[in-house]
Chains A and B, each alone.
Chain A
Amino acid sequence: EVQLVESGGGLVQPGGSLRLSCGASGFTFSSWALSWVRQAPGKGLEWVSHIGGSVGSTYYADSVKGRCTISRDNSKNTLYLKINSLRAEDTAVYYCAKEGGYNYGAIDSWGQGTLVTVSS
């Protein structure tokens, strides 16, 4: 069974930084592309970033480009998202998700999410 467990969320001041982690199990981690998706309170889903399998290509939403870095450690079965220069509008639940392909694919599994609150 695929399991994805996010951590690292919390309260951060505007302008601060945060690194989210997502521990994975139940599948061959390095063989699958992964995503981060976020959801602001009361709002819809917003795709944030993607990384391909193994040492894969990375892509970002315009709203986080230049402030975010997605990475993966295949030896630790862990996905990361580093966000800098945090803004109030980054407040959201952040979900990590497994895609159904090596380079990319539809999301087939989701973590439970971790809440990031940006406020002074």
Chain B
Amino acid sequence: DIQMTQSPSSLSASVGDRVTITCRASQGINNYLAWFQQKPGKAPKSLIYAASSLQSGVPLKFSGSGSGTDFTLTISSLQPEDFATYYCQQYYSYPFTFGQGTRLEIK
């Protein structure tokens, strides 16, 4: 199975900051990488697919990059609604594994 490791596990930032979350795959996954946002008590929301393509309706403040084993999610100009937990997931091979999550908190 492919292991997905996110860093950091938690992150404190202020409104207006720019933050980057990293996701590393235990083996190459080309660009078969997605990012999701989840707020407490809510279903996840899909943000990015194919490592860097935004899902419909997702604001341009979210951006993704990477290929192979190393990927990043960057959120610019943080707003209160962006504070949430973020997950990456590989869909290169079964089982389609998730990272453990990165909790983004307000400083």
Using a CB–CB distance below 8 Å, which chain A residues touch chain B? 35, 37, 44-47, 50, 59-62, 95, 99-100, 104-113
Contact status A44-B43, CB under 8 Å: no
Contact status B98-A106, CB under 8 Å: no
**Residues on B with beta carbons closer than 8 Å to the beta carbon of A47:** 89, 95-98
**Residues on A with beta carbons closer than 8 Å to the beta carbon of B46:** 106-110
A110 CB to closest chain B CB (Å) equals: 4
CB nearest to B55 among chain A residues:
A108
Contact status A59-B49, CB under 8 Å: no
Q: Sample 28 A-B pairs with CB under 8 A, ordered by A number.
A: A37-B98, A44-B98, A45-B89, A45-B98, A45-B101, A46-B98, A47-B89, A47-B95, A47-B97, A50-B96, A59-B95, A61-B95, A62-B1, A62-B95, A95-B43, A95-B44, A99-B91, A105-B91, A106-B34, A106-B49, A106-B50, A106-B91, A107-B89, A108-B49, A110-B44, A110-B45, A111-B43, A113-B43
CB nearest to B34 among chain A residues:
A106
Residues of A contacting B: mostly: strand
B65 CB to closest chain A CB (Å) equals: 16
In B36-58, the 8 Å CB interface with A consists of 36, 38, 43-46, 49-50, 55-56
